[in-house]
A and B are shown apart, each in its own frame.
Chain A
Amino acid sequence: MQSRFSIKIVGASGQGINSIGEILAKSIKRCGFCVVAYREYPSLIKGGHASYQIDFSARQISGSTKKIDLLLVLNRQRTNWHLDELKPGGIILHDIPGPRINAEEAEKMRSLKVKIAYIPAHEIASANGGNIIMSNIVSLGYLWKLLKLDMSVIETVVSEVFGDKPKYLPTNIACMKAGVAYQSGRKPTWESRLSQPGEIDTGENDLLHLNGEEMLLKYFKLAPNAEHRDKLLINGNEAISLGAISAGVRIHFAYPMTPSSSILTFLANAAEQTGMIVKQVEDEITASAMALGAMHAGTRALTATSGGGFDLMSEHISLSGILETPMVVVLAQRPGPATGLPTWTAQGDLQLAISAAHGEFPRCVISCSDATNAYSLIQESFNIAETYQIPVILLTDKLLAESAFTVSPLTQNLPIDRGLVPSGEKRFLLSEDGVSPRWLPGSPGKTYNANSDEHDEVGNVTEAAGMSAAMMEKRMRKLTKLQDSLPEQKLYFNDVDLSSASKKISLIGWGSTLTTVLDVMEELARKNVKVDYLDVTHLWPLPVKQIREYIDSASNLCIIEGNFTGQFEQIIRMETGLSIPHHIRRYDGRPFFVDELAAQISSIFDIK
């Protein structure tokens, strides 16, 4: 009996895939399942192929699988059957009258023993006063019935989602109920389409005679787990936004860029409740300059972008370095170079983050690895930025930014640490630990010059060799202090007894890879393989001691990251002098999927 299932809704983007995906995901979660929702979509507004994948289980999961149990196909223009992703015996539910299936597809369907069910959703929607978009709700209702889950739950969720469009709510509810009520009572009638002109008659249409409804009901025997019901279904950007609110951020400056844009949207929509000033500015140079200016005047301001926008921000990261004005930038990664794959995922900007901007100055680079730590790490980013008076770059990636995860309510609220003094004498005092007293413009007492030129202790320009060297050394001492106070990096492991394990392997990585690895660990536990994973969130300065110890004590060690050159592996080698024998890298815009990654790891370590 499999313990997790995967449903993928596919269709044209702009067709409402996300809306029904979100309704379905939230409804399944409220029935007591742990849900992971992962979106794929092209970089255009309408048309093109998009998908919304929902993985769910009664146990805790956080990754998506490549292979799908059930496909809900809504693409009426150019039907894509996703047969390479369908599991053997998998199910296709569709709403396409007279779909096209070519000979190759028919052959694949046959060999996979695919089961197909059809619902005349558009017809049903029309009969209930709905339009073509609402036929999605009909299909959703039908699917919900086949899952045998509580009707009242999805009705509530539909009401919530369409709550701001009350005019359309009754029709949507009627369409959904009609979908639930639909019973084909007949075998799918579209096998004849295979012999339409231009298509090859395979002569063997037996697979098409299966009654989809029966198969579905038999297939899904899921027992919910009540503990998931009240959890949050939340994506990484929403968690970062909430964390920023929690950290007392009062202004957000940004320029939209996928996959960071939903931070801007979320904070703007929450502004009425939070009182935050949310400003979409003319470009990323402005966004970073304004974030720095607002922080200089003493508030907490956030900016967020992706790689291309981050390039534009880099001069202000350098400015933050010499002014010792704190700054926090969220860098949501997607594949480059240049425009790259705008709506896909990558971990390709780590070395950019640690080395962007001219000159040498201390900085901190942190990476979120799941929705829960995204919430606390943005708070920590502000505390570090203000305590050390440095720029902090918080990395995330498209997978984490835009996928929704089932997590416990976010309760890790860190105390705010601003590192401010009411007034002072020397703003850039050559202090022992490198941190100088920082007081805000407007404070009574001595004023100062925050000078982008090299300066002396009060901020006056200097070109003297001695003071220039002393200031550089002072600033860089902050990096040493920060490195000495980094938190312990979290070690994850599966529930396999080491003494009786068939094998022990050690993995290391960063970013959203954690979400996949956690599920991989469970897969490998079933093969009695003990798995450790060191999830490195604090990437610069590197927690050298802990990483060195981990590498030294590991026997079967593999590093996993979403880039071509092994950027984190290089940093580890540079900072520890140690090499890692095995690596898994991905750079095609796709995230790591649970089943694929488990297979890759098994292949490297000869796990049967």
Chain B
Amino acid sequence: MNCHSSKEFEGLPVKISDYTSSVQPTWCGGCGNYGIWSALKRALIALQIPPQDVLLCFDIGCNGNMSDKIEGYRIHTLHGRVLPVASAAKIANPKLKVLAFAGDGATYSEGIGHFVNTLRNNYPISFFIHDNGNYGLTTGQASATSPQCAPRTANPEGPTASTLNPLQLSLSLQPAFLAQGFSGDIEQLTEIMIAAIKQQEHGLAVTNILQACPTYNKETSHEWYQQHIFDINYKGDHDVQDLKSAQAAAAKQPDKYPTGIIYKTSEVVNYMDRLVHRQGDWREWDLAKEVRSVDTSMLQKQFQ
């Protein structure tokens, strides 16, 4: 993968400072959100997207606390609900680059119905899951991705439900784009985010980000992940268009965690392309401008 160094951004019209908020981060020292935050800004700059052209949609939790630590149009929604809000915003204004962020609690528990149906609909947005294996902001309860052996607040004996494999779940739902990143590998995550944002031209991009939570997740720490991840794209022998290979990679968890682009297909039709009654390329739609008074007299004739 290419490395986007800070120097590479010098002299470009859209600068890191355009995304710099005056509000200081409040995350714990060593929190994986710093890495995600950094990769996000780098990806936006690499793509030269001005803050006016993005809608960053946040769920509730430590990830959502990013909403005022970055510039751009932002909406901080409710727990588990970021996907329908973000998808609808994209439908209303496809020119916006819509990026949605949520934790593992929001994605794989509170909002799992939205996650499943967002994949089924293939709404053309980029979705990033801050998967830190617990509910950090509510002081460390078990999430669907907490390891089995790990005691958690409210589950001192360990989780009472099986651990969910996010990659396998996504792959069962015909994802147009599935990637996994690691908060400790900012360079790789930047590249993944760039690809995920570009994917919006075609459909949904889902990226699960393995995120260190030094305060509550002692089992899968930054160092632990460093020893258990492998870059699936590194050797160049992984066919991202082959579902079986992707499934095999996903099945390696929890022993080994593949990172990089796991799966990508152009065979899944996105939601907008399914709207056959709409005129023109959806990428040019602007449903805000379509709002105008409509004469309904012709439609009333059927009632006479």
Hey, which bits of chain A sit against chain B, CB under 8 A?
30, 230-234, 238, 242, 245-251, 253, 270-275, 277, 281-283, 285-286, 289-301, 315-316, 319, 323, 409-410, 413-416, 418, 440-445, 447-453, 455, 459-461
- Enumerate chain A residues within 8 angstroms of B90, measured Cβ to Cβ: 297
Contact residues, B251-300 vs A (CB, 8 A):
275, 277-279, 287-288, 290-300
- Enumerate chain A residues within 8 angstroms of B161, measured Cβ to Cβ: none
Question: What's the A-B contact tally at a CB cutoff of 8 Å?
Answer: 200
Closest residue on chain A to residue B90 by CB atoms: A297
A129 to B68, CA, bound (A): 73
- Enumerate chain A residues within 8 angstroms of B21, measured Cβ to Cβ: 460
A294, A413, A459: the one within 8 Å of B293 (CB): A413
CB distance B84 to A248 under 8 Å? no
Hey, which bits of chain B sit against chain A, CB under 8 A?
21, 23, 51-53, 55, 57, 60, 65, 67-68, 71-78, 81, 84-93, 95-96, 113-114, 116-117, 275, 277-279, 287-288, 290-300, 303-304
CB distance B296 to A450 under 8 Å? no
List the 10 shortest-distance A-B pairs measured between CB atoms, nearest first.
Answer: A298-B288, A293-B88, A441-B73, A290-B88, A293-B85, A289-B84, A299-B287, A297-B92, A248-B291, A232-B303
CB distance A282 to B91 under 8 Å? no
Given A416-B293, A442-B53, check contact A294 B88 (CB 8 Å).
yes
CB distance B294 to A296 under 8 Å? no
CB distance B293 to A298 under 8 Å? no
Closest residue on chain B to residue A382 by CB atoms: B291
- Enumerate chain B residues within 8 angstroms of A30, measured Cβ to Cβ: 304
CB distance A452 to B78 under 8 Å? yes
Offer 19 A-B interface pairs, CB within 8 angstroms, sorted by A.
A230-B304, A231-B304, A246-B296, A248-B291, A253-B88, A274-B294, A285-B114, A289-B77, A290-B84, A290-B85, A298-B288, A315-B78, A315-B81, A441-B73, A447-B71, A447-B74, A448-B73, A453-B67, A460-B68
- Enumerate chain B residues within 8 angstroms of A300, measured Cβ to Cβ: 291
CB distance A297 to B88 under 8 Å? yes
Report A270 CB to chain B, min CB distance, Å: 6
A443 to B88, CA, bound (A): 18
Report A277 CB to chain B, min CB distance, Å: 6
A245 to B23, CA, bound (A): 43
- If A245-B296, A440-B93 are given as contacts, then 12 extra A-B residue pairs at C-beta distance below 8 Å, sorted by A number, are A231-B304, A232-B303, A234-B300, A250-B287, A290-B85, A298-B93, A299-B290, A315-B78, A413-B295, A441-B96, A459-B74, A461-B65
CB distance B76 to A449 under 8 Å? yes
- Enumerate chain B residues within 8 angstroms of A291, measured Cβ to Cβ: 88
Closest residue on chain B to residue A272 by CB atoms: B277
Report A575 CB to chain B, min CB distance, Å: 30
Report A323 CB to chain B, min CB distance, Å: 7
A448 to B76, CA, bound (A): 11
Report A268 CB to chain B, min CB distance, Å: 10
- Enumerate chain B residues within 8 angstroms of A248, measured Cβ to Cβ: 290-294
Closest residue on chain A to residue B275 by CB atoms: A277
A267 to B31, CA, bound (A): 48
Closest residue on chain B to residue A249 by CB atoms: B291
Report A27 CB to chain B, min CB distance, Å: 12
CB distance A415 to B68 under 8 Å? no
A125 to B304, CA, bound (A): 29
Given A248-B294, A409-B297, A459-B68, check contact A450 B76 (CB 8 Å).
yes
CB distance A440 to B288 under 8 Å? yes
- Enumerate chain A residues within 8 angstroms of B93, measured Cβ to Cβ: 297-299, 440-442
Report B13 CB to chain A, min CB distance, Å: 14
- Enumerate chain A residues within 8 angstroms of B117, measured Cβ to Cβ: 281-282, 286
- Enumerate chain B residues within 8 angstroms of A232, measured Cβ to Cβ: 300, 303-304
CB distance B91 to A294 under 8 Å? yes
A272, A285, A293, A453: the one within 8 Å of B92 (CB): A293
B23, B278, B288, B296: the one within 8 Å of A299 (CB): B288
Report A475 CB to chain B, min CB distance, Å: 17
CB distance B88 to A275 under 8 Å? no
CB distance A251 to B88 under 8 Å? yes
CB distance A451 to B67 under 8 Å? yes
CB distance B73 to A442 under 8 Å? yes
Given A277-B275, A286-B84, check contact A297 B55 (CB 8 Å).
yes
- Enumerate chain A residues within 8 angstroms of B287, measured Cβ to Cβ: 250-251, 277, 294, 297-299
Report B36 CB to chain A, min CB distance, Å: 18
- Enumerate chain B residues within 8 angstroms of A460, measured Cβ to Cβ: 21, 23, 68
A416 to B293, CA, bound (A): 6
- Enumerate chain B residues within 8 angstroms of A416, measured Cβ to Cβ: 291-293
- Enumerate chain A residues within 8 angstroms of B298, measured Cβ to Cβ: 273
CB distance B53 to A449 under 8 Å? no
A440 to B90, CA, bound (A): 13
A414 to B293, CA, bound (A): 8
Report A22 CB to chain B, min CB distance, Å: 11
- Enumerate chain A residues within 8 angstroms of B303, measured Cβ to Cβ: 232-234, 238
CB distance A294 to B92 under 8 Å? yes
CB distance B78 to A316 under 8 Å? yes
Closest residue on chain A to residue B272 by CB atoms: A277
Report B55 CB to chain A, min CB distance, Å: 5
Closest residue on chain A to residue B81 by CB atoms: A289
